[in-house]
């Protein structure tokens, strides 16, 4: 299956448990990223906007957490059509409930809308997605909340 991965999933996968980030949330992020790296697929925009958002959170040396390993997986497979679909950004939906949605998260929506299979977007802790879930669902965009209680 193909997924679109919000940056916060990889960030949380690298964190230590806290009251705000319980172990079950971190484990859910790690399990999902490991499944993608083992046998899944990712969808990325063909303008590399998602990749650019990932870069500040990347480490290439030392002890790497699962989130860092995922970033390396993305880089290694960005041009591998067996593991990555590069998708043109579709127009962002015109919907009043989506007008205030975070500008930096819109590219994930546009990739889902631009992909013929409309892959789901994985989200860990970004509560903005919950506020627009109904409006996005009306446009055919699915969000998988890995840490709904923390979001």
What digits encode the pLDDT tens for the residues 104-121? 999 999 999 999 999 999
- The per-residue pLDDT for range 23-74, each reduced to its tens digit, is 899 999 999 999 999 999 999 999 999 999 999 987 766 677 899 999 999 9
Provide the sign of the torsion angle of the four alpha carbons 103, 48, 83, 116, taken in this order.
Answer: positive
Domains of the chain with CATH codes: 2-145 (3.40.50)
pTM score, whole prediction: 0.93
Residue of 132, 119, 127, 133 whose CA lies nearest to 86: 119
Q: How far is the C-alpha of 50 from the C-alpha of 14, rounded, in Å?
A: 18
Residue 151 has pLDDT above 60, yes or no: no
Paired residues of 122 in beta bridges: 5, 144
Q: How far is the C-alpha of 113 from the C-alpha of 75, rounded, in Å?
A: 23
Q: What is the pLDDT of residue 48?
A: 97
């Amino acid at each position: 299956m193909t997924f679109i991965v919000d940056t916060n999933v990889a960030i949380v996968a690298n964190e230590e448990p806290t009251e705000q980030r319980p172990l079950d949330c971190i484990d859910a992020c790690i399990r999902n990223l490991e499944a993608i790296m083992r046998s899944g697929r990712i969808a990325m925009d063909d303008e590399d906007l998602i990749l650019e958002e990932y870069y500040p959170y990347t480490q290439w040396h030392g002890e790497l957490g699962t989130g860092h390993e995922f970033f390396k997986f993305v880089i290694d497979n960005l041009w591998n059509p067996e593991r990555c679909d590069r998708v043109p950004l579709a127009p962002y939906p015109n919907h009043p409930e989506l007008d205030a949605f975070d500008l930096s998260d819109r590219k994930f929506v546009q990739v889902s809308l631009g992909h013929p299979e409309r892959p789901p977007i994985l989200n860990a802790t970004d509560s903005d997605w919950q506020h627009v879930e109904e409006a996005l669902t009306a446009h055919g965009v699915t969000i998988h909340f890995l840490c709904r209680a923390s979001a």
